[in-house]
Amino acid sequence: MKHFLFLAALGLASAEPNLNGDYKMSKTPKGRDDVFSMRFADYPGTVEYFDIYSPVLSSVYSQVIWTTFPPISLPDEIVKRFAGGKPMAILGMESDQVRNTTEGEEVSVPITWTYNHHYGPNIIGHKAKIVKVLEGDPRIPRTGHPTLVEDGKVTIVVDDKTQPFPTSRNFNTANGGEMRKSFKGMPPGAAYIVQSPHLFQLEAMQIDTWNREKMTGAKFYPGPLPRNSLAPADAEYSGLLECPMTTRIQKVLAGAYSVQLAGACADAITSLEECRAALSQLTSRSPINITKVTSAAHPAGCSAAFLDGDGSAMVGFFNDKAAAPTVDCGHNSTARRSGSSSTLVDLKVDLAEDATLTITGPATVWFGVGFNATSMADRPWTVVVDGDGNVTERHLAFHDPGTALPPSVRVVSNTVQGGKRTVVLSRPLKGKGGVFSFSAARTELNFITALGSGPAFAIHRNHTASSLAMFAVDGPSCVCAEKPAPFGQGTGMLVYSGPSGGGQLSEQYGFANNCHGDVLDQRNPTCDLRTYVGGVQTCKHNFLLLDADQRVPWQDQPLRYRLKFRFWFQDLPVAPAPPIYGVARWGFTMGNAISEYDVPKCSPGTPADQCTHVLQDVGTPPASAKYLIATHHHCHAPTCLNASMFFNDTGELICTQRALHGKGNTSSDKFDEENYIALLPCLFGRAKDGLQPPPLVAGRPILMVFHTNATNGHHGEMAIPDLECASDWNFTENNNPS
């Protein structure tokens, strides 16, 4: 793939405007907001810049792009100029997403077309190294954002701590829907310092939200959304940007579940999502119409039944336990039972007056199923289907084919289609001569399966043990949890399968959010796999964010664009010139391991000005984060309202960083997309710039309070404090107001 990189200017930039226009900041308690211009070209000294472009990104509607791109060399002029250990003082960065028209003109791509969830650009010096490490390596930075794992490894930059200046810098501040109108720079007197910069590397996460039929400009029109989206029909933003979990993803819960046909569950399932996941683990037939109800016809918690007589369709219900009446499991159910499982072969068992067994396996080799067993040592009654379609029965022995039995099954049908053979067998429930008897009272049936290498029954080439759950037909079967983990400790796996942005995709990965504090106390759905319904954990590279039964539209119209970054810099001054102090980032995770949470919709009747959600947490900056220079906190459009910082010991306000929501006036400001945000930073610095002196924060507990709009529910909001701190500051020099 070709990498585009351009050096846009080297030299005096006094006449050059900011890439994204004018910026605003949040006023600090003891500062002013009418002096510092926030125009990089107005900084003291000689200011220069260079532009860098990412490789071309190409996406279809609902596709996620989340990957680390190969490193790109910086311009030769930059590399040579700062070679030999010379430090560059980077004053700030700007970003855009751009494409070229058919006439070759570069134009900005609206955030309504492709939503920037986050990015992580790195400027890397000669002494730093790019390495790939295993997940969990202690060198992986803890930035609040989830760690990107690709092929089992994480790409990180390792600095050379023996050098006098930092050998790399990550610019992951104020990214997301706020990427372009948020000021991502330092006030005069401070800068991001990198020694001998020579490489640029980018991690980016984008979500394609472009309705190709209706959106020619920035004004938003919704496209198809998955069922789990919380965006209302008239939203000015796409519900895709909240990363709703789709039916392309299956939960594999770590807990155990069972079917119960009498009484009530000792441990009832407590959410619709857990009910859905538990049912998917208990049957290979996809449950449909998993509905939340409060009905006297259903037991409390989770229940399900096979319908339509032959058990071909399943319907499930979640009945809120607090509101549900007392209805026994199995109430009004018949003696008919059905269950299915998919392992080496597909097995379906239907019990009525007789037992009907439907077994599907490879058409050209033998396959077998042994019932009421976990191994051959259990001497199970076994049905063997050979490569020619002949059906025989046996009693297996331990590591031995055992003995042949007289026929007890009747072959109802034997068909081959698509390279697979399906046999339908019928036999009485009660077995004779020691043969296993089926019972409608049993809700779990253990079985073993095996596949051969050829058509004739012989030594197997593969085998496994499994079980299937037996559900009532035309009546409720309770699905019960067995010794469930406390809320917040429900873990397991997530499995994506099916079409993706790059073809077919099958990916399995673990879930662990490790919630604490407010998020856990509020029982936020993001804390537990049993209740998780959307967010960054179900939003991986090349995932499609539509449900499995939804057609992805406009697949012949990919969106092709690049991310553009502008870095403003100057030489680091030497004495006796006033110094520029280097800053380092410090932050902490709010509520869980990746600072993610769901915004719950406020209660009906709540006044609009009170319809907010509040999340707070406390962190303590280390000794290296001494003086606070800037805040570039991160939260997402459209819900983010503000983030406030307090000294936790005194309650003193440090600053409130406001979110400025777009009004849709894109004719006068191309980045003013409706409801998308600019996060206005808090800046501390020189008195002559009207800024409050940097407060000493090292070792003092900081209380962070994030406010979000709860008019509508929202998946995958984030609350990430971002403090840019200097280890020193010349108060005498920088407090001179002249």
| Domain match, 64 and 198 both | yes
Give the number of other Cβ atoms within 10 Å of residue 23's Cβ. Answer: 20
Residue 626, in any domain of the structure = yes
Peptide bond into 638 cis (omega under 30): yes
Q: What sign has the CA pseudo-torsion 280, 286, 289, 295?
A: negative
Residue 513 falls within a domain, yes or no? Answer: no
d(CA 421, CA 423): 7
The answer to whether 377 and 322 have CB atoms below 8 angstroms apart is no
Q: Are residues 207 and 260 in the same domain?
A: no
Among 440, 455, 482, the domain boundary falls at: 482
pLDDT value of residue 11: 42
Residue 160, class by beta-carbon neighbours within 10 Å (0-12 exposed, 13-18 middle, 19+ buried)? Answer: middle
pLDDT value for 240: 97
Report pLDDT digits (tens) over 153-202.
889 899 999 999 999 999 987 677 788 899 999 999 999 999 999 999 99
Question: Of 152, 136, 112, which Cα lies nearest the Cα of 240?
Answer: 112
Query: What range does the domain containing 472 cover?
Result: 255-482
Which pLDDT score, from 0 to 100, does residue 288 have? Answer: 67
Give the end-to-end CA distance of the chain in Å, rounded to a whole number: 52
Per-residue pLDDT at 738: 56
In this predicted structure, what is the pLDDT of residue 736? Answer: 65
Same domain for 467 and 559, yes or no, is: no
* Non-local CB neighbours of 99 within 8 Å, separated by 6+ positions: 106, 107, 109, 559, 560, 561, 562
Q: Three-class SS string for 247-301?
A: CCEEEEECCEEEEECCCCCCCECCCHHHHHHHHHHHCCCCCEEEEEECCCCCCCE
Alpha-carbon distance of 636 to 238, in angstroms, equals 13
Residue 314's pLDDT is what?
A: 82
Q: Is residue 199 domain-shared with residue 265, that is, in the same domain? A: no
**Count of structural domains within the chain:** 2
Task: Look at residue 297 in the predicted model and tell me its pLDDT.
Answer: 76
With respect to residue 235, please indicate whether it lies within any of the assigned structural domains: no
* 382 and 288 inside one domain: yes
* 219 found inside a domain: no
**53 Cβ contact list (under 8 Å, min separation 6):** 4, 5, 6, 98, 562, 563, 564, 565
Report pLDDT for 570: 95
Query: 662 near 675, Cβ under 8 Å?
Result: yes
Residue 501 in any domain: the answer is: no
- The pair of structure tokens assigned to 25 is 């900041």
Query: Which residues partner with 382 through β-bridges?
Result: 370, 394
Contacts 24+ apart (CB under 8 A), 504-509: 505/542, 505/543, 507/540, 509/149, 509/540
Residue 195's pLDDT is 97
* Regions in the chain scoring below 50 on pLDDT: 1-12
Q: Do 583 and 644 lie in a common domain?
A: yes
- At which of 482, 509, 536 does a domain end? 482
Do both 167 and 272 map to the same domain? Answer: no
136 and 21 together in one domain: yes
Based on the fold, state whether residues 457 and 334 are members of the same structural domain: yes
Q: What is the pLDDT of residue 5?
A: 40
> Do residue 436 and residue 562 come from a single domain?
no
Q: Is residue 231 part of a domain?
A: no
Same domain for 265 and 195: no
Burial class (CB in 10 A: 0-12, 13-18, 19+), 353: exposed
Tell me the DSSP string of 186-249: --TTEEEEEESEEEEEEEEEEEE---TTT-SSSS-------TT----TT-SS-GGGG-B--TTE
Q: Would residue 576 count as lying in a domain?
A: yes
* Domain-terminating residue out of 482, 502, 530: 482
Sign of CA dihedral 96, 100, 104, 107: negative
- Is pTM beyond 0.85 here? yes
Q: What is the CATH number of the domain that holds 465?
A: 2.60.40
- The whole-angstrom separation of Cα 233 and Cα 221 is 10
Task: Give 72's strand partners.
Answer: 200
**pLDDT tens figures, 121-157:** 999 999 999 999 888 788 888 766 778 888 888 898 9
Taking Cα atoms as reference points, which of 262, 256, 295, 708 lies closest to residue 472?
262
3-state SS track over 426-456: EEECCCCCCCCCCCCCCCEEEEEEEEECCCC
The sheet with strand 288-293 has its strands ordered as 256-260, 477-482, 301-307, 313-319, 288-293
In this structure, the answer to whether residues 206 and 260 fall within a common structural domain is no
84 assigned to some structural domain: yes
